[in-house]
Amino acid sequence: MADSWLPTLKTDTPEEGFNLAVKMSRIGVKVTQPDAAVRDRLRPEYAEDADALIASSQVIAINFQTVAAANKYWL
């Protein structure tokens, strides 16, 4: 699995774990909508939509919970 974009959920620090959660969330959007032109066209709509931004934050938070659990909460 050397060419995998996600070889592990293990990170050295919570900050690295958060950055991984953000990356996971971004990849999720790309998988859901693989057409970059469509994503670019939609971005201005959700960039100023408070509900959409909160929903994005929730997805990141859920992914961060997953990463934190995989790292035993960095204990």
Helix, strand, or coil (residue 42): helix
Segments forming the whole domain that contains residue 54: 14-70
Q: Is 9 inside a domain boundary? A: no
- How many domains does the structure of the chain reveal? 1
For 15-36, how does the pLDDT look when each residue is reduced to its tens digit (9 = 90+)?
Answer: 999 999 999 999 999 999 999 9
Q: Is 2 inside a domain boundary? A: no
Q: Is 58 inside a domain boundary? A: yes
Distance CA(34)–CA(2), nearest Å, equals 23
- Between helix 36-47 and helix 50-70 the angle, nearest 10°, is 110
pLDDT at 1 over 80: no
Alpha helices (H) along 1-75: 14-32, 36-47, 50-70
Confidence at residue 3, expressed as pLDDT on a 0 to 100 scale? 79
User: Over pLDDT 70: what percentage of the chain?
Assistant: 97
Place of tokens 């969330």: 25
For 28-66, how does the pLDDT look when each residue is reduced to its tens digit (9 = 90+)?
Answer: 999 999 999 999 999 999 999 999 999 999 999 999 999
Q: Is 4 inside a domain boundary? A: no
- For residue 1, give the DSSP letter: -
